[in-house]
């Protein structure tokens, strides 16, 4: 289904709102004798991160600067995730914490957007319990944030703007403040039509809509020209990408790979029902497409997959895994697994452990089932007791941690090209980066390779060769042997 483009009227309205807000914030800055700051707090997936980069871009074009201190910014936006209960609890917890700041500063602005706003009970709770939240708006119309902000300032009371549109409007004119100078997040499609019974995303992000190939390639060419080394092609299910001309994901991946300048083309997420051998063959034959495949399994039991409304079985899944392992021998495989889905028996869970062992995942996002109001699974009988879920979750973690460590251990002694992401969070003189297979590497840089006057962060976006010296559960250590 083709993407819905932003309309001329909306663009005009947004631009006039941006002008009005620029004047308002420059007046506020003059009266406070300081810059006006913003902070966008992002929960959830990389699609949310990509939306947050657009919010930051619009706030910066209003003349605001990003706040990095430990107090509170003048404008605070919570870009929320509704996939799990704890993500929701974190929002309400943070809204509680920010209450006194908002009460003490009449000029402060608090806004909430993202997937939680598409769940009515959450919006009701914000209305009733957090009346000091100035603005609530949905992810469908994030490009109209300046219009909603202007309107909420004019109203001087809470504004809730949730549209019923079941799709996301695409807007390539919205200003974007990208977080990393070497990596760009590029949504290729929005929404999901799969309706897995435990998932709120299809209700929060609407129906699948794909951007046109020409438009994505144009954006990628500009990013390559601007010096971005890595792009992440994003979608809830990139394999079901289909442009209005009928172009599918393999064609888009090939076209992206042909653009000069990118060292790494990554994509997320794939769906086992749509992943094709052709995509794996393109990964195997391209020098700049990552050798990491993220393929959510969720459960190793066909019976549970049916209850989850995930239309593939373990035989299909393993066929894809074996083909990937054959075609991309140095590649890595990651997955998502839910433990404790309603009705899951000990035998179902054992099947999950068996599949995990057979696939030998290099890493995995593992979750305890969390009932989401509004989903079919939340109404299912046989909800599993928490202590049973926790005990099973512990067994899965033990197995998966062991596999992840083995995957890192297998890297020791090898030398591979790394895209430097900057200073490691563990030590100031340690750099961090990733292999083509998405393994996390922390490494030293010998004095002989250091560039005079460069700090660790100045190496961000550069390529180098690193010899791997030792492994840890979630990363590999090494030493740079060549700076490229
Ligand atoms: S594929 Fe399933 S789990 Fe993934 S976003 Fe769609 S409905 Fe949710």
Which tens digit of pLDDT belongs to each residue from 355-377?
999 999 999 999 999 888 889 99
Which residue among 192, 296, 311, 336 is best mutated to probe the pocket of ligand 1, counting the most ligand atoms within 8 A of its Cβ? 192
Q: Which long-range contacts (CB under 8 A, 24 or more apart) does 473-477 make?
A: 473/401, 473/404, 473/405, 473/408, 474/363, 474/404, 474/408, 474/440, 475/408, 475/439, 475/440, 475/441, 475/442, 476/408, 476/411, 476/412, 476/439, 476/440, 476/441, 476/442, 477/441, 477/442, 477/443
- pLDDT average, residue stretch 21-35: 97
Over residues 45-102, the pLDDT tens digits come to: 999 999 999 999 999 999 999 998 777 899 999 999 988 778 889 999 999 999 999 9
Mean pLDDT of all residues in the chain?
A: 94
User: Does residue 319 carry a pLDDT above 70?
Assistant: yes
Within 10 angstroms of residue 154's Cβ, the number of other Cβ atoms is 9
Over residues 394-416, the pLDDT tens digits come to: 999 999 999 999 999 999 999 99
| Residue at token pair 């608090």 | 110
Whole-number pLDDT of residue 482: 97
The token pair that represents 390 in the structure block: 């926790």
User: What's the 199 CA to ligand 1 centre distance in angstroms?
Assistant: 6
Over residues 194-252, the pLDDT tens digits come to: 999 999 899 888 899 999 999 999 999 999 999 999 999 999 999 999 999 999 999 99
191: left (phi > 0), else alpha (psi -120 to 50), else beta?
left
Whole-number pLDDT of residue 173: 80
d(CA 206, CA 117): 13
Quick check: 48 and 81 in contact, CB under 8 A?
yes
Whole-number pLDDT of residue 429: 85
Top-confidence residue, 29 or 174: 29
User: Does residue 2 carry a pLDDT above 80?
Assistant: no
Cα within 13 Å of Cα(146), Cβ side: 29
Sorted by sequence, the CB contacts under 8 Å of residue 300 that are 6+ apart come out as 314, 348, 351, 352, 353, 354, 355, 356
Work out the burial of residue 303: count CB atoms within 10 Å of its CB; fewer than 13 is exposed, 13-18 middle, 19 or more buried: middle
The token pair that represents 222 in the structure block: 């500009």
| Residue at token pair 């190496």 | 459
* Domains present along the chain, CATH in parentheses: 3-168 (3.40.50.12160), 181-290 (3.30.750.210), 291-410 (3.30.750.200), 415-483 (2.40.50.140)
Q: CA quadruple 297, 299, 302, 304: dihedral positive or negative?
A: negative
- For ligand 1, atom 2, the nearest C-alpha belongs to 196
Quick check: 331 and 291 in contact, CB under 8 A?
yes
pLDDT more than 90, % of the chain: 84
Which residue among 202, 311, 369, 376 is best mutated to probe the pocket of ligand 1, counting the most ligand atoms within 8 A of its Cβ? 202
Q: Which residues line ligand 1 (CB under 6 A)?
A: 192, 194-196, 199, 201-202, 236-237, 271
Quick check: 167 and 207 in contact, CB under 8 A?
yes
User: What's the 236 CA to ligand 1 centre distance in angstroms?
Assistant: 7
Atom of ligand 1 nearest to the CA of 298: 3
| Strand arrangement, sheet containing 292-294 | 292-294, 332-339, 363-368
- pLDDT average, residue stretch 124-138: 96
Cα distances (angstroms) measured from residue 112 to each of 92, 149, 201, 302: 11, 11, 17, 39
Whole-number pLDDT of residue 306: 98
pLDDT-wise least confident of 20-34, 167-181, 229-243, 463-477? 167-181
Atom of ligand 1 nearest to the CA of 200: 8
Whole-number pLDDT of residue 233: 97
Which residue among 237, 297, 367 is best mutated to probe the pocket of ligand 1, counting the most ligand atoms within 8 A of its Cβ? 237
Quick check: 370 and 340 in contact, CB under 8 A?
no
- pLDDT average, residue stretch 168-196: 89
User: What's the 198 CA to ligand 1 centre distance in angstroms?
Assistant: 9
Whole-number pLDDT of residue 204: 87
Sorted by sequence, the CB contacts under 8 Å of residue 188 that are 6+ apart come out as 210, 211, 216, 233, 234, 235, 238, 241, 249, 252
What is the band of 1 on the pLDDT scale with cuts at 50, 70, 90?
A: low
Atom of ligand 1 nearest to the CA of 236: 5
Cα within 13 Å of Cα(132), Cβ side: 18
């Amino acid at each position: 289904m083709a993407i819905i483009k932003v309309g001329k009227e909306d663009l005009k309205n947004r631009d006039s709102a941006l002008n009005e807000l620029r004047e308002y914030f420059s007046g506020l800055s003059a009266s406070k004798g300081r810059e006006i700051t913003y902070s966008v707090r992002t929960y959830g997936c990389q699609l949310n991160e990509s939306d947050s980069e657009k919010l930051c871009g619009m706030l910066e074009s209003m003349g605001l600067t990003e706040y990095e201190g430990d107090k509170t910014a003048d404008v605070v936006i919570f870009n929320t995730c509704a996939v799990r209960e704890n993500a929701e609890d974190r929002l309400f917890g943070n809204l509680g914490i920010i209450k006194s700041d908002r009460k003490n500063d009449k000029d402060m602005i608090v806004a909430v957007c993202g997937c939680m706003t598409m769940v009515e009970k959450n919006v009701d709770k914000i209305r009733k319990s957090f009346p000091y939240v100035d603005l609530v708006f949905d992810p469908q119309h994030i490009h109209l944030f300046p219009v909603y902000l202007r309107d909420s300032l004019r109203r001087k009371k809470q504004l809730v703007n949730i549209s019923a549109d079941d799709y996301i409007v695409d807007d390539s004119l919205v200003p974007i403040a990208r977080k990393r100078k070497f990596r760009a997040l590029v949504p290729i499609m929005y929404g999901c039509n799969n309706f897995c019974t435990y998932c709120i995303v299809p209700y929060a992000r609407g129906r699948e809509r794909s951007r046109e190939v020409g438009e994505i390639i144009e954006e990628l060419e500009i990013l390559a020209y601007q010096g971005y080394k890595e792009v992440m092609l994003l979608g809830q299910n990139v394999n079901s990408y289909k442009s209005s001309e009928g172009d599918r994901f393999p064609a888009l991946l090939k076209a992206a790979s042909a653009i000069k300048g990118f060292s790494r083309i990554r994509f997320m997420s794939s769906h086992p029902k749509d992943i094709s051998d052709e995509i794996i063959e393109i990964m195997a034959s391209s020098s700049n497409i990552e050798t990491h495949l993220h393929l959510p399994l969720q459960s190793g039991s066909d019976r549970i997959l049916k209850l989850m409304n995930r239309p593939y079985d373990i035989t299909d899944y393993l066929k894809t895994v074996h083909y990937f392992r054959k075609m991309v021998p140095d590649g890595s495989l990651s997955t998502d697994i839910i433990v404790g889905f309603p009705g899951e028996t000990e035998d179902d869970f054992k099947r999950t452990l068996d599949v995990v062992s057979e696939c030998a995942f290099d890493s995995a996002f593992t979750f305890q089932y969390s009932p989401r109001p509004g989903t079919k699974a939340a109404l299912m009988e046989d909800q599993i007791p928490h202590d049973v879920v926790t005990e099973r979750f512990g067994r899965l973690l033990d197995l998966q941690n062991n596999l992840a460590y083995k995957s890192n251990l297998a890297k020791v002694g090898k030398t591979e090209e790394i895209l430097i992401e900057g200073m490691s969070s563990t030590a100031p003189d340690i750099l961090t980066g990733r292999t083509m297979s998405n393994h996390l590497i922390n490494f030293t840089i010998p004095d002989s390779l250091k560039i005079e006057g460069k700090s660790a962060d100045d190496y961000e976006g550069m390529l180098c060769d690193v010899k791997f010296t030792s492994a840890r559960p979630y990363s590999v250590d090494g030493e740079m042997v060549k700076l490229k």
